[in-house]
Structure 1
């Protein structure tokens, strides 16, 4: 995926050389380390204004009702349940919000019930919370919803075991669940009016991202736009197909949007071929795709008159782009696509029983599941033993901090511990002003509305910002339950620092996995997948039916690779926020992540050129490239840092695969670079 009109290997080295020199230039003896600065830089993600408004209403209204009926403690518990729903209110599609909010609320209710039953039971409470932490960690490895469910299970168990909640034991679970369901109700109010709007907007956003990709073809911005297209496609397919069970054939609107989304795939495939040509596309082409995006967003079926320039003769990539745009225009304006011809296999989940079996297997028999469960149980057990032996004011805050910080699927454990300490300190400044100046009572309602609205807004900017927003909210709710006022500030800071210290020592420094990062294994698996994709892209085909089946399998393989590469990018970005040696290893392998993306792009471009008239490569050449990629994957698995390149005689090169050979040369250049020190 070269981004300048120079050989890809040189371009890759230049980019990463410039990045390395820039990092060196910024280095100063008194400057904070780069991994810390990464976490403190606010994200460019837009503020979710609707979620902010829902958060303010969902958390302030229960307080108002509590004061109105003279039961402020009950109102505070409902608001506490609403806080969990606000944190989980991140889905776009309405049907996904039900899962994201309702399922974790059930686990949260179970957790607070268990905690309430062992409140004041001494070592029994320590044992129960340690066991709950083990279960919480193990189920967190299943998926996103399970991760939030495991988080709420443990958080509410800690709250129930550490705070004198209203009796009987079922009161707190009911009130907390009511708060979460109130958030769910508010988030679903627009469903009757907006129905499929989130899905339609996601498909339209994919078309706009592809238009940006075509705009960037032949220009330096191509790589960034390629990542935006991958993200848009992942989100759109997840919204359309990721949560459904048997909607295909019964929901014409959903099927039509799936057809429109599938129609953009030929454009995505043709874009690398146009980019490798090294010349910008005529502006009429991205403009036409943007008009298609507008039609998708509006649900229009009016035919679009395309004003496209004729593709130059003898240029396969130009013919591929022209054909893909016209095909997409035909599909976008088709009012009633045949329900049985729309291929939904690119993002369709497996059957429910298969997914349940996989989830159970992942939770019970996965090494990663047990490692995280034991890691979390160890830290929670240490926290509970510590506060049982040493008198610590508001001791349950220690275990709460451990739970929030020790979530590896939410980011780097080390940086989260440091950022949580910093975020808590910042939030305490706001909390101190609120507790000192705002009288308890009805004034808490508007203050809570403002503070709660900041949670979604700040969460979009980063973990430290989210912590700073949540801290004053939790302290205000704690004051309503305990009536401690300004005296909450000091123990909150002290307990948070103790919790962060436990995580840093027992959950990070003394945990072997922290020092033996597994990011290389994920990258190696992706390189192996790229080798399989090369073999599949130019494998032998027979009949017309076999040709269609091969193309479908090829598109599915390419989507899986790009989704996996997006996950690998996320893992590497988390690892880059770790201190050495993990951060150093991630930085050493990072250029290869970019190189693999370019290899996949070059393979797709070559396949497109062959489809539109270029001579296909020989079987021996394809086999040589596949073998070299598999050897590279094995080298990634064996070495903690890029090894010296494997020397081999160059295979005979066809014209159509010349860019792919250049990208492989770039990957070899990366592995030949200076090897960083790694313990």
Structure 2
């Protein structure tokens, strides 16, 4: 049956702008990222959102089809993992929380202040569990979103109907995402390891040049992703899987090459092209699962850095092409993760004892409570959209709250243009199916471009589904925009401006902690007391590798926080820009320390205990200087860097520390 729908990068300084031009922080937030188009995810989203509508129209139950599509929408938003087993967690677990949320919301629908209180308590719980991790964050989001929908929208009865239909939509997305598992079960993990090798090849190719720092960041990110996938998979496998053992061995042997890259960069000249080419060959072998005998054609190695790369590359080639690595000779480097049950217990305990978790939960509960009270006192059409907007915007782990509020308003306005055309021109009925397929496919594509683009893609989908549930047609447009603006205003005032911690950057404190970690890394790398047994030396090396990986992970987190702070308006964005040279300086200190250790391992003279102690003391002092500086001084020109043949391998480390201290030193 068909009825008519229509009832009526990094700043280098300040740039000059026209007085009416948008500010820099907004332009940065609106700039689309260059992420590739996720074709498979787009196809899944289009089918997952359109198929339930087709079934609903075929059974003359369009409302049921719309609810299943709503559940599919939450599954599409959650479908962000690469590995198939991780997809089960990322999609199925949030669906369980979403079902609980909509059930609770449905039970209190129409109960006035009881509904306000229940939804506010759910907001507190949602905010607290969101601090645990990625899956928990999405679970908390769906718990609250579905509770708001259930409490604000008349859904089919009995109470269990809506949870069942919404869960069916999410599980449909999960089923579609797992279709390739039998054929590509290990492909995501294998591709992640191969990506690490290719990123390393690009880094080695850039060694000695200006593009090295950016390429090294890509290696760190790729290595983190690969370890998370492989070790996360091993945590759920009893015993030693031969495939995973091989992947872990291939990933472990890339670490010496990663360590040797800073030493190669400090040489100040490019590496022979045969070296990155050989690493790319290994990446292809990893991706294709190829085995055989290594056949490397490498130039002669002369300096300690060259010898380090040569030895590491030959060892990597042997392990990558080895058919059956020894399962009992594979070091997990970062340590094998604890069982999922143990990690869940730890996460809940940490959440209950965390002040940050309680503060975020209270912020979210305050904003949701104010939204619910407002719509209970003032007659606002489709009032549940106010709380929905608050829920989407007030997610600090998803990015800057301020910029998300602004971007959501912008994205909503853009999405309403598309929604207005659809609601005005497309008759309600079977024509909704192809329209939904197109709109659904655009969600993963636009989500990869940025938050404003994701909002613009999701808005017409939600409005189309809402129209199928309440038949308001074109009249949905104006209330949708008004409710979104009210929700953004509540979030900016009660969830942002009233909480100084939300608009003050903590990059300085986190950087200081990382500098302290760098000092401990130097102590471990050049400790005075060296183990005199093979087992002791291996344990010390593993501890040093773990310390280095933790530092790089921390620095990656600092960079992410910096990128988030850059999208804030002044003064936070300006402070973040001022801290940036110090972020780079700390990374260079860690790189120089790693390069020094590599050079010692391959023939350079070990530094004396006094020199090591002096470097550690300087790093401790730098950490204190970072903590005491509200805003770093303008970057100064550091003294010339030491060459590779300096008398001491720690000379480049001291140079980088001096450059960092020049940044934190007071001016005037």
Tell me if both proteins adopt one fold, taking TM over 0.5 as the criterion. Answer: yes
Alignment of 1:130-169 (within 5 A): 130-169=120-159
Q: Whole-Å Cα distance in 2 between the matches of residues 101 and 246 of structure 1?
A: 17
Q: Kindly indicate whether the alpha-carbon contact (under 8 Å) linking 2:44 and 2:177 is maintained by their aligned counterparts in 1.
A: yes
SS in 2 for 1:293: helix
1:128 equivalent in alignment to 2:118: yes
Query: 2:472 is matched with which residue: 484, 489, 499?
Result: 484
Query: 2:295 is matched with which residue: 305, 315, 322?
Result: 305
Q: Kindly indicate whether the alpha-carbon contact (under 8 Å) linking 1:242 and 1:349 is maintained by their aligned counterparts in 2.
A: yes
Q: Kindly indicate whether the alpha-carbon contact (under 8 Å) linking 2:633 and 2:667 is maintained by their aligned counterparts in 1.
A: no
Q: How big is the shift at 1:322? A: 0.5
Q: How big is the shift at 1:672? A: 3.1
1:225 equivalent in alignment to 2:227: no
Structure 1 match to 2:574: 584
Alignment of 1:84-483 (within 5 A): 84-247=74-237, 249-312=239-302, 315-346=303-334, 348-483=336-471
Structure 1 match to 2:5: none
Moved more, 636-645 or 83-92: 636-645
Q: Whole-Å Cα distance in 2 between the matches of residues 377 and 246 of structure 1?
A: 35
SS in 2 for 1:531: helix
Deviations along 1:515-542, one digit per CA (max 9) or x if unpaired, are 4433322222111111111111101312
Alignment of 1:526-565 (within 5 A): 526-539=514-527, 540-543=529-532, 544-565=534-555
Aligned pair in 2 of structure 1 residues 222, 116: CA closer, same or farther (>3 Å)?
A: same
1:616 equivalent in alignment to 2:609: no
Q: Whole-Å Cα distance in 2 between the matches of residues 363 and 516 of structure 1?
A: 23
Once superposed, which parts of structure 1, at least 4 consecutive aligned residues long, lie more than 4 Å away? none
- Backbone CA RMSD of aligned residues: 1.7
The number of equivalent residue pairs is 649
Moved more, 80-89 or 627-636: 627-636
Q: Whole-Å Cα distance in 2 between the matches of residues 388 and 481 of structure 1?
A: 22
SS in 2 for 1:247: coil
Q: Kindly indicate whether the alpha-carbon contact (under 8 Å) linking 2:508 and 2:627 is maintained by their aligned counterparts in 1.
A: yes
Aligned pair in 2 of structure 1 residues 158, 259: CA closer, same or farther (>3 Å)?
A: same
Structure 2 match to 1:504: 492
Moved more, 292-301 or 541-550: 541-550
Alignment of 1:11-90 (within 5 A): 19-20=11-12, 23-90=13-80
Deviations along 1:344-390, one digit per CA (max 9) or x if unpaired, are 14263234344123211222110100010000000000000000000
Q: Kindly indicate whether the alpha-carbon contact (under 8 Å) linking 1:256 and 1:337 is maintained by their aligned counterparts in 2.
A: yes
Q: Whole-Å Cα distance in 1 between the matches of residues 439 and 564 of structure 2?
A: 29
Query: 2:665 is matched with which residue: 645, 669, 672?
Result: 672
Q: Whole-Å Cα distance in 1 between the matches of residues 93 and 293 of structure 2?
A: 43
Query: 1:661 is matched with which residue: 649, 654, 663?
Result: 654
Q: Kindly indicate whether the alpha-carbon contact (under 8 Å) linking 1:451 and 1:472 is maintained by their aligned counterparts in 2.
A: yes
Deviations along 1:289-319, one digit per CA (max 9) or x if unpaired, are 101111101000022311111112xx10000
Q: How big is the shift at 1:219? A: 0.9
Structure 2 match to 1:648: none
SS in 1 for 2:14: helix
Q: How big is the shift at 1:247? A: 2.6
Structure 2 match to 1:7: none
Structure 1 match to 2:639: none
Q: Kindly indicate whether the alpha-carbon contact (under 8 Å) linking 2:263 and 2:592 is maintained by their aligned counterparts in 1.
A: yes
Aligned pair in 2 of structure 1 residues 654, 367: CA closer, same or farther (>3 Å)?
A: farther
Q: Whole-Å Cα distance in 1 between the matches of residues 634 and 388 of structure 2?
A: 46
Structure 1 match to 2:6: none
Q: Whole-Å Cα distance in 2 between the matches of residues 528 and 54 of structure 1?
A: 46
Q: Kindly indicate whether the alpha-carbon contact (under 8 Å) linking 2:626 and 2:664 is maintained by their aligned counterparts in 1.
A: no
Q: Kindly indicate whether the alpha-carbon contact (under 8 Å) linking 1:529 and 1:561 is maintained by their aligned counterparts in 2.
A: yes
Deviations along 1:504-561, one digit per CA (max 9) or x if unpaired, are 1111112222344333222221111111111111013122222111111111111111
SS in 1 for 2:345: helix
Structure 1 match to 2:619: 629
Q: How big is the shift at 1:674? A: 5.7
Q: How big is the shift at 1:246? A: 5.0
SS in 1 for 2:653: helix
Aligned pair in 2 of structure 1 residues 27, 551: CA closer, same or farther (>3 Å)?
A: farther
Q: Whole-Å Cα distance in 1 between the matches of residues 587 and 665 of structure 2?
A: 19
TM superposition score normalised by structure 2: 0.95
Q: How big is the shift at 1:248? A: 6.5
Q: Kindly indicate whether the alpha-carbon contact (under 8 Å) linking 1:249 and 1:255 is maintained by their aligned counterparts in 2.
A: no
Q: How big is the shift at 1:586? A: 1.6
Deviations along 1:195-252, one digit per CA (max 9) or x if unpaired, are 1001001101110011001100111110010000001001100110125425374310
Q: Whole-Å Cα distance in 1 between the matches of residues 233 and 90 of structure 2?
A: 11
Q: How big is the shift at 1:671? A: 1.3
TM superposition score normalised by structure 1: 0.93
Q: Kindly indicate whether the alpha-carbon contact (under 8 Å) linking 2:368 and 2:390 is maintained by their aligned counterparts in 1.
A: yes
Q: Whole-Å Cα distance in 1 between the matches of residues 550 and 336 of structure 2?
A: 12
Q: Structure 2 unaligned runs (5+)? A: 1-8, 636-641
Q: Whole-Å Cα distance in 2 between the matches of residues 582 and 354 of structure 1?
A: 38
Deviations along 1:387-412, one digit per CA (max 9) or x if unpaired, are 00000000000000000000000000
Q: Kindly indicate whether the alpha-carbon contact (under 8 Å) linking 2:46 and 2:440 is maintained by their aligned counterparts in 1.
A: yes
Structure 1 match to 2:590: 600
Q: Structure 1 unaligned runs (5+)? A: 1-14, 646-651
Q: Whole-Å Cα distance in 1 between the matches of residues 118 and 333 of structure 2?
A: 44
